[in-house]
Structure 1
Amino acid sequence: MLSRPELILKLIVEQYLSDGTPVSSKFISEQGGLQVSSATVRNTMVQLEQMGLIRSPHTSAGRVPTTQGIRLFIDKMLQLEAVPQRWLNEIQQTLLPQLPPSVLIQRAGQLLANLTGLVSLLSPPKAGGRVIRQAELVRLAMDKLLLVVIDAEGDVLHRVLAQNADIPQQTLSRSLCVLNAALCGQCWPDAIGRLALMARTEGGDTERLLLDVMAQLSLDEMQQNQPLVYGQHHLLQEAEHQPDAALQQVVQLLEQPACLLQILAPVLQDQCTKLILGRESGITELHNVSIIALRYQAEPHRVLALLGPSRMHYAHLIPLVEAVGLQLSKHLNQP
């Protein structure tokens, strides 16, 4: 049972999250079930303001919740809503168990951004490193090869290698032999280092071909270790229609998503959903941004997060993030 101050705070937060405008004592007193006068509401609002739970913006007669007020509302009063069936259907149809992990993670990020119109952030696809299981060079033409590298999780790298001249069969056979000796069973960075050393002992066409392979492996390693961000265009579109320095700062911060993941890492040591409200992040650029974050895999440590305005529809979005995280966890943690 909520006390009167808590009930009034609940009404203020819910209305503010709904339309973003200051909430007046008249509006509160007219709500059914409260049965108190405007004067009583005003006195209670003064108490809530003294407690730092609401504030008066500028000269407005209404009040808006502070970060502390929204936090109290979420921790004690928020009632989560069921995820709509159409969203559950999309999650199941998009995040299929047979997909390689990197594709699964990419699809999850795109799905979250598309469903919510917000920004999703996910750990790098290969957050825990990867071991190479198999490497192949397949001839497509006399001067063109297909590089295929499969890691232990079943993810496949395909790259077309175009050469300046025809590739003799002897060069292809020798290169493939060196590749398997250097790569198979090795962690990706270690494999690149081994290949670099072994290529130098070959010389000629074989060395040039192996160095091309090494360049492709290095590029892929860099890409696979970058956090994934989807939905930045939602922020950019909002910034175009509503010039806001805070929005521009968030856009710039998302250009270095690894920093955000480092901030989230300490609070995501268990599988509980975490909610970081605005100033709680300690980052100036995120003072008007809320983050719903969840660790969906322990080993390797993988997280997903949804970034949006402080006026986020938390009751709607928290269950959605949890549903996506559950689907990822179920597929990625199975033997």
Structure 2
Amino acid sequence: MPLEPRAQTLLKTLVERYIAEGQPVGSRVLSKLSKLDLSPATIRNIMADLEEMGFVASPHTSAGRIPTPRGFRVFVDTLLTVQPVSENSIESSLQLSTQVGQPQKIISNAAQMLSSLTQFAGVVLAPQHESAFSQIEFLRLSEKRILLVIVTPNGDVQNRLLLTEADYTPAQLNEAANYINRHYSGLSFNEIRLRLQNELREIHSDLTKLMQTAIEAGDETITGSTEDVVIAGENNLLNVHDFTYDLNSLRKLFAMFEQKTELMQLLDISSKASGIQIYIGGDSQLVPMDDMSVVTAPYQVNGKIVGTLGVIGPTRMAYQKIIPIVDITARLLSNALSHARSISDND
């Protein structure tokens, strides 16, 4: 049920005060800050109603109230007034334009800048690269030890050591490499894998196992050559009392950064949504800690969503400032990566 205007004003005032001070907010303070011409008794009655509806709670140690996760959700969804942020100031700080042609550096820069601007942790889910190649070579190192050399379409070179069951001659290795380059150059390893089953019967069976091994290893090498999640500023969260007051919370926090599984799941889901998404601990099952919130936005390359970026901080964060920073950074990252892609395609 929608809140009546006076209740909305008081809830908004309480959340903003709690974000700023981190302390329970009493009726007297609410009366002064909200500028509502209401008696203290009326304010107490409205706050009691808000508490009954689950939007605020009363800590045992204070007569004041704090917002619950549900109260924070109402605040960010319907009551928040976003503060304008200069896009030029973020762009000059981010310096994405100086990193043309270096997508991984651009992504790392974006995470660093989100952290710097918010004093929380910045995070970017990197694009999942198609594991395409332009050329491969096999180099015989010794008996049953082969070096697989992969050249990607943008000129990167990746190496992978293969341990084989058979001992292949240089002529056999050359034959296998020539076959793969002639038939599959420019395709992703995943596409090749789907075609190999029917096509490998055309060549000598002794090389079938080698080529299958090379395709699997090549896929793992290319897809594993970049970080899935780039995180910057984790140490900023050591200065946030909401996390550091409890050793168990701190352990949970850094376990999340180390394992990254829960974080990747949240970012992957948010990349399928449009625009800014706000995940509040205690309200969203995707956030592993009650005192944590994550503000995310998807970013694009040439109009196609390829990843997500965001800010990780306490539930008691200044959403009105964080949201435009995340939104603008996503747009700038999209522009920089699209520009880098066009430069690469024209080279």
Is TM > 0.5 for Structure 1 vs Structure 2? yes
Contact 2:22 2:316 in 1 (8 A): yes
Deviation at 1:332, TM superposition (A): 3.7
Pick one of 312, 317, 335 that aligns with 1:312: 317
Aligned positions of 1:28-43 closer than 5 A = 28-31=30-33, 33-43=35-45
CA distance in 2 between counterparts of 1:219 and 1:213 reads 10
Contact 1:22 1:62 in 2 (8 A): yes
Kindly provide the amino acid, as one letter, of the partner of residue 272 in structure 1.
G
Deviation at 1:187, TM superposition (A): 1.1
1:254 alignment partner, SS class: helix
CA distance in 1 between counterparts of 2:109 and 2:90 reads 14
Name which of structure 1's ranges 36-45 and 236-245 shifts more when overlaid on structure 2. 236-245
Contact 2:267 2:309 in 1 (8 A): no
Is the alpha carbon distance of 1:48 and 1:241 closer, same or farther for their aligned partners in structure 2, counting shifts above 3 Å? closer
1:276 alignment partner, SS class: strand
1:132 alignment partner, SS class: coil
Pick one of 241, 245, 250 that aligns with 2:248: 245
TM-score, reference length from structure 2:
0.72
Equivalent residue number for residue 186 of structure 1: 187
Equivalent residue number for residue 167 of structure 1: none
Kindly provide the amino acid, as one letter, of the partner of residue 187 in structure 2.
Q
Contact 1:24 1:62 in 2 (8 A): yes
- Deviation per CA, 1:217-260: give whole Å up to 9, x if none: 74442243633222223335658964431232122123232433
Is the alpha carbon distance of 1:63 and 1:300 closer, same or farther for their aligned partners in structure 2, counting shifts above 3 Å? closer
Aligned positions of 1:9-88 closer than 5 A = 9-31=11-33, 33-84=35-86, 85-88=88-91
Contact 1:95 1:108 in 2 (8 A): no
1:271 alignment partner, SS class: coil
Name which of structure 1's ranges 16-25 and 213-222 shifts more when overlaid on structure 2. 213-222
Equivalent residue number for residue 130 of structure 1: 130
2:134 alignment partner, SS class: strand
Contact 2:70 2:283 in 1 (8 A): no
Q: Which runs of 5+ in 2 are unaligned?
A: 138-146, 162-170, 343-347
Contact 1:118 1:231 in 2 (8 A): yes
- Deviation per CA, 1:85-135: give whole Å up to 9, x if none: 5323213x2355723433322321222123222223322333xx3253534
Is the alpha carbon distance of 1:182 and 1:113 closer, same or farther for their aligned partners in structure 2, counting shifts above 3 Å? farther
Kindly provide the amino acid, as one letter, of the partner of residue 313 in structure 1.
A
Contact 2:133 2:188 in 1 (8 A): no
Deviation at 1:49, TM superposition (A): 0.9
Contact 2:96 2:333 in 1 (8 A): no
TM-score, reference length from structure 1:
0.74
2:7 alignment partner, SS class: helix
Equivalent residue number for residue 120 of structure 1: 122
Name which of structure 1's ranges 239-248 and 108-117 shifts more when overlaid on structure 2. 239-248
Kindly provide the amino acid, as one letter, of the partner of residue 317 in structure 2.
M
Contact 1:182 1:191 in 2 (8 A): no
Deviation at 1:158, TM superposition (A): 4.7
2:254 alignment partner, SS class: helix
Equivalent residue number for residue 265 of structure 2: 262
Deviation at 1:12, TM superposition (A): 0.4
1:288 aligns with 2:291: yes
- Deviation per CA, 1:259-289: give whole Å up to 9, x if none: 3332444454343211111122215732211
Is the alpha carbon distance of 1:63 and 1:95 closer, same or farther for their aligned partners in structure 2, counting shifts above 3 Å? farther
Contact 2:106 2:333 in 1 (8 A): yes
Pick one of 270, 275, 278 that aligns with 2:278: 275
2:332 alignment partner, SS class: helix
1:281 alignment partner, SS class: coil
CA distance in 2 between counterparts of 1:118 and 1:252 reads 17
Equivalent residue number for residue 140 of structure 1: none
Deviation at 1:324, TM superposition (A): 0.9
Contact 1:235 1:251 in 2 (8 A): no
Kindly provide the amino acid, as one letter, of the partner of residue 229 in structure 1.
I
Equivalent residue number for residue 101 of structure 1: 103
CA distance in 2 between counterparts of 1:171 and 1:236 reads 57
2:278 alignment partner, SS class: strand
CA distance in 2 between counterparts of 1:53 and 1:213 reads 55
Is the alpha carbon distance of 1:160 and 1:219 closer, same or farther for their aligned partners in structure 2, counting shifts above 3 Å? closer
CA distance in 2 between counterparts of 1:273 and 1:300 reads 13
Q: CA RMSD in A?
A: 4.1
Equivalent residue number for residue 157 of structure 1: 156
Equivalent residue number for residue 165 of structure 1: none
Equivalent residue number for residue 141 of structure 2: none
**Percent of aligned positions that are identical:** 26
Contact 2:130 2:223 in 1 (8 A): no
